[in-house]
Structure 1
Amino acid sequence: MSIIYDEEWLPSLDGTHTKRIYRDGDPLAIGRVRLWQNGEEGELTREWFTAERWSTGRYVPLEGEHANFLEAAGRIVFYTATH
């Protein structure tokens, strides 16, 4: 089973950006990764990622923050494979 995801980051109403995660050949998302950014003008911007699984018509956050996109996406894949 291969995993694919959106190419572009999609803006969210809360100021974050998201990419949906899919199983290859399935049009329904199994989850999404959310990109968070924090920083003041003139300072370095801090970024972190969170994972959310798709369940019963809504996204449900999975516990934890991740340092990069692939780590967060892997968390979704792992969760769906074990549950």
Structure 2
Amino acid sequence: FGVDGWSQTGGSFDGMNNTEGVFLASASGSLTITVAGGDINSNGVPGVGDGTDQDFAIVCYNCVEAPIEYTEFVYLPIVANRP
């Protein structure tokens, strides 16, 4: 958050929870909010994909919903060589 109490571009993230909040002072103009998962090391969605997946959610205060473009996700196995 900025000194005015609203979200700011490039602000900090919550490394523990799968919900992020964006709080805008006014709803003027358009913007894109991106949720990027990092350090996913467990199975947050049992029975879907592999053992390292997670649902994410975004909450936006003072936003108006627009059509969403979905990105296709591809599950790729990670192979590690261990001695």
Q: TM-score, normalised by structure 1?
A: 0.26
Which has the larger strand fraction?
1
Q: Does 1 or 2 have the higher relative contact order (CA < 8 Å, sep 6+)?
A: 2
Instruction: Tell which structure's C-alpha radius of gyration is larger.
Output: 2
